[in-house]
Amino acid sequence: MLAGSKAQLMIGHVTLTSVDPDRAASYSKRVVDGIIRKRWNYQGVVMTDDLVMGAIYQRSVCMAVVDALNAGVDLLLVAFDGGAVLSHL
């Protein structure tokens, strides 16, 4: 379906509990590497949804960034609000 596509894929912060109950799809290696890259054979650009959102603050922006990159995400979307980010570090 996505194999060979030139489209870019934005992945949201939803949790696919049957795949990875502990991480949102945007920073889940099981979702990004396992499903998108390997099962769907998508090799194009994968980007996160905005990392300055409540779903990320419930955890940690810094940890989500590290996990997203380790999962195989290519671009991190950050609509930076310095005050909001710094208050959650």
Q: What is the pLDDT of residues 26-48, one digit of tens each?
A: 999 999 999 999 999 998 999 99
Share of the chain above pLDDT 70, in %: 83
pLDDT at position 6, please?
75
In the numeric block, the tokens 């208050």 are attached to 87
- Give me the mean pLDDT over the 40-60 stretch: 85
**Helical spans, DSSP H, in 1-89:** 29, 54-57, 61-71, 82-86
Look over the chain and give the mean of its residue pLDDT values, rounded to a whole number.
Answer: 86
CA distance 8 to 56: 22
Q: Could you tell me if residue 57 is left (phi over 0), alpha (psi between -120 and 50 degrees) or otherwise beta?
A: alpha
When pLDDT is cut at 50, 70 and 90, the band that residue 88 belongs to is: low
pLDDT at position 53, please?
82
- Tokens representing 63 are 């940890």
